Chain A
């Protein structure tokens, strides 16, 4: 399988979108393009699976290395392992759903869809690149469209939010860039190549400087405490698809970077700084949960809960055991699907009620059973109901974290476990006040979901259920990849 198709297809779609004559053409092209991408991603999974069953033990599958800028040893080096395949699948699902829920965007439709496709292009490129410079390049591609999506199509104090988001993410990228350069020069003969860098032992002094830079830099994307404040503002101002992409894909770029670049390349420093990571992520988990409890705006609720849930990702990474790392990847996928669905539902509700304040709603289950039921399901997924994806991911992290016998890790795990109770409190508050209770007079004429909304929900729900009911496939996909990382960590004295 040639991985470049993963980039060429969105590029092609984006070009076609630019050439389209009217809004409906734009939508159809985007939908077809994103569905083709989804098929391609599933095909990638199948092909990967086949290779795995056939006994291929290479670390990266479908590798390809094109010369790009040989003078500086920058190559277009691509390849995937289980983690990347999982993230690519996540991206494909979220993009299809995002395209579907944006069907009603009437303002500058062409530009809107162009940016959506561009963002997905950045994400795909990010997940397949094995050259750190290319990786950084795609990371930036994924940031810029977000600024425009929020600034142009957003609501509320959108300029403030767009600036804040772009600046904080850019600040994160700046740290990443410095860290990457540090790695580049640490390799004899200078290289950005991930595989080459992983084959050498980077000097501990360089690790000690580069690891925090990279981890915090990528961490900003994943809402590491205390750099998470762009999350609530950014999400609440973004258009529905923007929020979905932001939480479903962009926040995962950071987690992937923390794992793939920071932890994988610099295991010594990861061990050194694990304590700090665990402390920060435990704070994010419980603190995000408590902050969510006090929110009244549905989007703020989901944004803060994302802070809490992404804390699990970082906690899993900080624990450095294979199970916990697997759990972290699973949590990324699970949270991506779940939170995208949550934002999609919030968008649907907002389109109808024209408010996102929970206390202004009530009894929506009566007039829009489909949407309200989806809200139930996604809420239950968020609080970790078995049978849905959240449970699988969280439990994997808990079990992985608990395998450290000392009290520090234990306490962090218990704190993380405690958040599931707080999560139950805020999710039930939100659901109870919006979907349940007496129906407000002014909402009695609202209608239920339309075809495109139903399709978007079904796409994402399919992903959530596929993980929740039969998590084995995802586990088998991710485990070999995390094993390599844990081996590197285990080799550290």
Chain B
């Protein structure tokens, strides 16, 4: 059995780093901050590996099936008997895998940042935020309770907000961090209501019980939930769809993706950690966590997951082909790859061979974390070198940055699905799963994989080949050992991670799934991948005017894609014009003038009446005497004639 303390230390260590650096970093620690943060992360990563080893090879299996182990559960807040937020730890294949991925990538980013952020004024703050993020993300993946996940889900969102806004004096960064937070918050609204729906019908907030009750057709909860429908869909479908909206927001699925490209305003290592490898896959993780409910009780919702994923994958790939900011290209490619993971879940069934999509999705999550973090860190090194994000300022860098060049190339090959790099294996599984279950999604995926190869190599050639680089001014080289080491480690991962027999460890029902490999099936996607690379090679290896010509020939499509299909403008219209001008402004006006006006009107009415009758108080004694007399006479008459 695992030692609870060790598991607990994995999230606690980054949190301790956050507290220490956040409270005292500014004044007392300064330059040691990076080392402290990195050390904490190193221990956490080692512990995570230790736990993963123990889980997968020692105590995790029971009767050949990986079981859920809950070593710790603490009742944090009890709403009513049965419904409570428990803070706990769950060990199952996906959470253990995520523990490893998050700690490993985070460690890489910690090390890399030692070189990248060095010398900046807010160095300790940066490491504090990284610690906070890592803590929240780890808390998220080990959640035993859906509300615990929401808890850390929000914390992840806010640490992402803080890190995007790290350069807080840059207006664009401020705008980006606000946008990221608000868009994901909007999606979280769906998540929250989804939780309420599911917990109401499940009668619990605990993942395990929730799945047991809502994913087994015999249980009473399931029967009532299925029976109660709203607008023709059952309560479970509503709940899962709403939860998925939350996941789609975090994972930047169409149409809630608009924050991700802007989030690139943050420091590049942050993008690698949060917006490529870990946080953005939280949505996929969420769906995977509730997968039995999706697969068994809400097939409509699962279909939605599949189509949203597929559309996002293609949509983002098209946009990525036209962007010139290298980080944005990577951002769209992230969105596209997460689309893959999503639709892989969407086409998956539950249990046995049917669950191939689930395994494939998790596999892709794993490999994607490696190569996408590598791509971002490589891009960071490039940006560090040329001090620009735009690929127009780059070119011919292969001679100046050999390590970055090679590792970047490995990552590009991996994402393009070239064998034997990691991306090939995971993508192959996804395509296979799609092919078996949903042909239309399969075709979309196939096209997207060709596009992926094209835009990634467009990026690659534009940075490292194309025009010759003219060294302007003195250069500080590629960045020291601390920046190169993570690249090399991640490159090893990106090259070799595909050989893990993932199905043996992670599957929808815990039972090992034999990896199947169809040679004939792989021909089409690999050929398409090579075609994409070839086109990119022709167009971008040397500087020429072919790209512009092609762009001109499909002008309207190109312009639309370049402007990201005007989704941002649409959102801007909705928020600025509708939310602010059509709702906010009238409400504020109504409050000041009508509601408050009513209150003031009551005051004015009182004053008006007083104004009317104050003339009686004239100060003239004789007038008073006259009133008095009249009153006395009046009363007298009253007594005499009416009273009796």
Q: CA separation between A226 and B168, bound complex, in Å?
A: 39
Q: CA separation between A417 and B598, bound complex, in Å?
A: 29
Contact B76 A387 (CB under 8 A): no
Residue numbers in A under 8 Å from B580 (CB-CB) = 293-294
Q: How far is the CB of B186 from chain A (nearest CB, A)?
A: 5
Contact B189 A396 (CB under 8 A): no
- The yes or no answer to A398 lying at the interface (CB within 8 A) is yes
Stretch at the interface among B463-471, B474-482, B534-542, B581-589: B581-589
Q: CA separation between A391 and B147, bound complex, in Å?
A: 11
Contact B174 A437 (CB under 8 A): yes
Q: How far is the CB of B476 from chain A (nearest CB, A)?
A: 27
Closest residue of chain A to B22, judged by CB?
A373
Q: CA separation between A225 and B587, bound complex, in Å?
A: 13
Residue numbers in A under 8 Å from B171 (CB-CB) = 437-438
Which residues of A105-132 have CB atoms within 8 Å of chain B's CB atoms?
none
Residue numbers in A under 8 Å from B152 (CB-CB) = 386
Contact B196 A399 (CB under 8 A): yes
On whether A471 and B77 interact (CB within 8 A), knowing A385-B155, A386-B154, A439-B169, the answer reads yes
Contact B178 A432 (CB under 8 A): yes
Please pick, from B177, B181, B199, B591, the residue contacting A229 in the complex, using a CB distance under 8 A: B591
- The yes or no answer to B565 lying at the interface (CB within 8 A) is no
- The yes or no answer to B545 lying at the interface (CB within 8 A) is no
Q: CA separation between A109 and B182, bound complex, in Å?
A: 44
Q: CA separation between A425 and B197, bound complex, in Å?
A: 25
- The yes or no answer to B83 lying at the interface (CB within 8 A) is yes
- The yes or no answer to B512 lying at the interface (CB within 8 A) is no
Contact A369 B189 (CB under 8 A): no
- The yes or no answer to B120 lying at the interface (CB within 8 A) is no
Contact A413 B196 (CB under 8 A): yes
Contact B174 A387 (CB under 8 A): no
- The yes or no answer to B292 lying at the interface (CB within 8 A) is no
Residue numbers in A under 8 Å from B599 (CB-CB) = 164, 168, 226-227, 229-230
Contact B193 A414 (CB under 8 A): yes
Residue picked from A304, A387, A398, A399, most chain B C-beta under 10 Å: A399
- The yes or no answer to A34 lying at the interface (CB within 8 A) is no
Please pick, from A380, A424, A471, the residue contacting B182 in the complex, using a CB distance under 8 A: A424
Contact B185 A421 (CB under 8 A): yes
Closest residue of chain B to A307, judged by CB?
B591
Q: How far is the CB of A133 from chain B (nearest CB, A)?
A: 28
- The yes or no answer to A366 lying at the interface (CB within 8 A) is yes
Q: How far is the CB of B500 from chain A (nearest CB, A)?
A: 34
Contact A436 B168 (CB under 8 A): yes
Contact A420 B189 (CB under 8 A): yes
Please pick, from A366, A403, A424, A437, the residue contacting B185 in the complex, using a CB distance under 8 A: A424
Q: CA separation between A402 and B198, bound complex, in Å?
A: 11
Residue numbers in B under 8 Å from A294 (CB-CB) = 580, 584-585, 587-588
Please pick, from A304, A392, A403, the residue contacting B200 in the complex, using a CB distance under 8 A: A403
Which residues of A393-409 have CB atoms within 8 Å of chain B's CB atoms?
395-396, 398-400, 402-403, 405
- The yes or no answer to B218 lying at the interface (CB within 8 A) is no
Residue numbers in B under 8 Å from A230 (CB-CB) = 599
On whether A436 and B174 interact (CB within 8 A), knowing A294-B587, A295-B588, A385-B155, the answer reads yes
Contact B165 A436 (CB under 8 A): yes
Residue numbers in B under 8 Å from A395 (CB-CB) = 77, 85, 147
Please pick, from A164, A287, A365, A414, the residue contacting B168 in the complex, using a CB distance under 8 A: A365
Q: CA separation between A462 and B132, bound complex, in Å?
A: 19
On whether A291 and B587 interact (CB within 8 A), knowing A229-B595, A429-B178, the answer reads yes
- The yes or no answer to A363 lying at the interface (CB within 8 A) is yes
Which residues of B76-94 have CB atoms within 8 Å of chain A's CB atoms?
76-80, 83, 85
Contact A387 B155 (CB under 8 A): yes
Q: CA separation between A229 and B79, bound complex, in Å?
A: 33
Residue numbers in A under 8 Å from B232 (CB-CB) = none
Interface residue count for A (Cβ, 8 Å)?
A: 59
Contact A392 B77 (CB under 8 A): yes
- The yes or no answer to A472 lying at the interface (CB within 8 A) is yes
Contact B154 A385 (CB under 8 A): yes
Contact A400 B182 (CB under 8 A): no
- The yes or no answer to A243 lying at the interface (CB within 8 A) is no
Contact A428 B181 (CB under 8 A): yes
Contact A421 B174 (CB under 8 A): no
Residue numbers in B under 8 Å from A287 (CB-CB) = 587, 591
Closest residue of chain B to A363, judged by CB?
B169
Report A211-230 CB contacts with B as 1/0, cut-off 8 Å.
00000000000000111111
Closest residue of chain A to B586, judged by CB?
A290
Q: How far is the CB of B149 from chain A (nearest CB, A)?
A: 11
Which residues of A342-398 have CB atoms within 8 Å of chain B's CB atoms?
363, 365-366, 369, 380, 383-387, 391-392, 395-396, 398
Residue numbers in A under 8 Å from B579 (CB-CB) = 293, 425
- The yes or no answer to B26 lying at the interface (CB within 8 A) is yes
Which residues of A436-492 have CB atoms within 8 Å of chain B's CB atoms?
436-439, 470-472, 475
Q: CA separation between A292 and B178, bound complex, in Å?
A: 17
Closest residue of chain A to B171, judged by CB?
A437
Which residues of B408-457 have CB atoms within 8 Å of chain A's CB atoms?
none
Q: How far is the CB of A291 from chain B (nearest CB, A)?
A: 5
Q: CA separation between A293 and B182, bound complex, in Å?
A: 13
- The yes or no answer to B151 lying at the interface (CB within 8 A) is yes
Please pick, from B79, B151, B181, B598, the residue contacting A399 in the complex, using a CB distance under 8 A: B79
Q: CA separation between A470 and B158, bound complex, in Å?
A: 20
Contact A475 B77 (CB under 8 A): yes
On whether A391 and B168 interact (CB within 8 A), knowing A291-B588, A471-B76, A475-B78, the answer reads no
Q: How far is the CB of B465 from chain A (nearest CB, A)?
A: 38
Contact A417 B192 (CB under 8 A): yes
Q: How far is the CB of A30 from chain B (nearest CB, A)?
A: 29
- The yes or no answer to B596 lying at the interface (CB within 8 A) is yes
Which residues of B561-597 have CB atoms within 8 Å of chain A's CB atoms?
579-580, 583-585, 587-588, 591, 595-596
Q: CA separation between A365 and B122, bound complex, in Å?
A: 11
- The yes or no answer to A418 lying at the interface (CB within 8 A) is yes
- The yes or no answer to B473 lying at the interface (CB within 8 A) is no
Contact B200 A417 (CB under 8 A): no
Q: How far is the CB of B236 from chain A (nearest CB, A)?
A: 15
- The yes or no answer to A281 lying at the interface (CB within 8 A) is no
Contact B598 A402 (CB under 8 A): no
Contact A290 B584 (CB under 8 A): yes
On whether A436 and B196 interact (CB within 8 A), knowing A294-B580, A369-B26, A386-B152, the answer reads no
Report B177-211 CB contacts with A as 1/0, cut-off 8 Å.
11001100110010011001101100000000000
Please pick, from A396, A424, A425, A437, the residue contacting B79 in the complex, using a CB distance under 8 A: A396
Please pick, from B79, B158, B584, the residue contacting A385 in the complex, using a CB distance under 8 A: B158
Contact A472 B595 (CB under 8 A): no
- The yes or no answer to A200 lying at the interface (CB within 8 A) is no
Closest residue of chain A to B598, judged by CB?
A226
* Given A226-B598, A369-B26, 12 further pairs, Cβ under 8 A: A229-B599, A290-B584, A294-B584, A363-B169, A386-B154, A400-B80, A402-B197, A420-B185, A424-B181, A428-B181, A438-B171, A472-B75
Sample of 11 A–B contacts (CB below 8 Å): A229-B596, A294-B580, A295-B588, A413-B196, A421-B182, A421-B189, A424-B182, A425-B579, A436-B168, A436-B174, A470-B76
